[in-house]
Amino acid sequence: MPGFELFGEQERAHVNDVLQSGVLMRYGFDGARSHWKARELENALAQRMGAKYAHLVSSGTAALTIAMASAGVGAGDEVIMPTFTFVATFEAILALGAVPVMVDVDDTLTLDPKAVEKAISKHTKVIMPVHMCGSMADLDALAALCRKHQLLLIEDACQAIGASYKGKALGSYGDLGCFSFDYVKTITCGEGGALITDNEAYYTHADHYADHGHDHKGSDRGAESHPFLGYNYRISELHAAVGLAQIARLDDFLKIQKSNYTILRKRLNQVPGITFRKVPEGGVENYSFLSFFLPTAVLAKKAQAALADAGIDGCFYWYDNNWHYHRQWEHLKDLKSLGFLPNQVRDNLPNYYKSDFSQSDHWVGRTISCLIKLGWKKEEVKQRAETMAQVLGALV
């Protein structure tokens, strides 16, 4: 991770196809085009993920928004999400006028099913696990809650493409699953995202909603009807071209990540006091991050600084991070918006200044996540592992 580390001839060939035709838009211009890169990538993604349908969009944030909209999520509906995620999770929820309901994470660094059950109300519509840093939530437990309370399970697998749970690709387990193909993801389009589902109605809704409500029937785009309101979340053929090359390389990327991850983990496993995030039974990570716990939050913060001083880059201390942890989300807590937000949001957003997220703090405060790069040489990884073990060993 990320896929841009290994850009090569495959990506250039697909992009050149698009540039030679001059047709950059995914819809229309049939007479001038010689390619349908977005369609090809959708087919490849659906096949790789074991889903009936896939739809490409402009970003992972767009995918989350469209996934919820396609399933009827709207103003006043509550969506349960974790305290540890990327800000796009609550941005997508708010974009629909829905209410983000944050709950604690556990030692998986994802939604704690017990905390989720306590947060379910008569307004809850969705449980949204976010498979952070390449590993997954306890999907069996969350799916059981969805069945019990008749809720939607929408997976945010934006950071975990290629991981699986009990033999199913992440994203394919719930009612809908979402991916990001931005510049720093395991496979990239530069900018882009996708949703997958086995539900034909959700797919059809997503297809229309992401393109101004166009029904995409017939061969004359100007004559297409609009069954309902939609917006512009389209991906371009140029972006899809890059992704089409990258998805063909996904298994190779995962193999490299696993090899590098394993070398680091084996060495750090010898350091007393270091423990690792829990991967639910039956889960297989995509190995894009190695996440581990220090004995205390104080030591974790010191360890991140010490690793950086030793030349070990790409090690994140999420507890103080602006984008990924609830402590820095004043713009959400205060609903700082350029426009007036729906009353359903303003009246029903929990007061997160008074919320007790001490369980999340217990786990995230002790966590360091190290990015696993594709471009490392084997000897470089071994030296990195040794340096990390010495630095951490000196602290704990």
Catalytically active residues, by annotation = 185
CA-CA-CA-CA torsion sign (73, 79, 85, 88): positive
Q: Is 58 within 8 Å of 191 (Cβ atoms)?
A: yes
Q: What is the C-alpha separation between 271 and 273, in angstroms, rounded? A: 6
Q: What is the C-alpha separation between 280 and 292, in angstroms, rounded? A: 15
Beta strand segments in 174-288, E: 176-180, 193-197, 275-276, 283-284
Phi then psi dihedrals of residue 217, to 5 deg? -105, 140
Tell me the pairing of strands 164-165 and 283-284: antiparallel
Residue burial 363-381, b: 16+ Cβ < 10 Å; e: rest? bbbbbbbbbbbbebeeeeb
Q: What is the C-alpha separation between 243 and 249, in angstroms, rounded? A: 10
- Report which of 158, 208, 216 is spatially closest to residue 187, judged by C-alpha positions: 158
Assign 3-state DSSP to the chain and report helix, strand, coil percentages, each to 5. Answer: 40, 15, 40
Q: What is the C-alpha separation between 40 and 300, in angstroms, rounded? A: 44
Q: What is the C-alpha separation between 42 and 177, in angstroms, rounded? A: 14
User: Looking at this protein, which amino acid is placed at residue 386?
Assistant: E
